[in-house]
């Protein structure tokens, strides 16, 4: 039978590990969102440049 101190240590380690995993997962989600935002911004900028060059060729 584990002692009270051992149970407290197990609980602390479990809690710490779960917080670490949540932090890593949150960082992953944040980086994915930033990457998608940068990709979207890049594609919009490219589309704007394409539209600008296609309309300037008409004049």
Per residue in 14-59, pLDDT (tens digit) is 999 999 999 999 999 999 999 999 999 999 999 999 888 887 655 5
Q: How far is CA 22 from CA 10, 34, 55, in A?
A: 18, 18, 49
> Domains in the chain: how many in total?
1
Judge whether 16 lies within some domain. Answer: no
Q: Is 37 a domain residue? A: yes
Question: Could you tell me the residue range of the domain that residue 41 belongs to?
Answer: 26-50
Say if 19 falls within a structural domain: no
Q: Is 45 part of any domain?
A: yes
Q: What pTM was estimated for this model as a whole?
A: 0.70
Give the CA-trace dihedral at 28, 31, 35, 36, to 10 degrees.
60
């Amino acid at each position: 039978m584990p002692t009270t101190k051992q149970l407290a240590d197990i609980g602390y380690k479990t809690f710490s590990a779960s917080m670490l995993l949540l932090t890593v997962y949150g960082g992953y989600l944040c980086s994915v969102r930033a990457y998608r935002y940068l990709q979207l911004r890049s594609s919009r900028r490219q589309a704007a440049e394409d539209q600008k060059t296609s309309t300037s060729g008409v004049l």
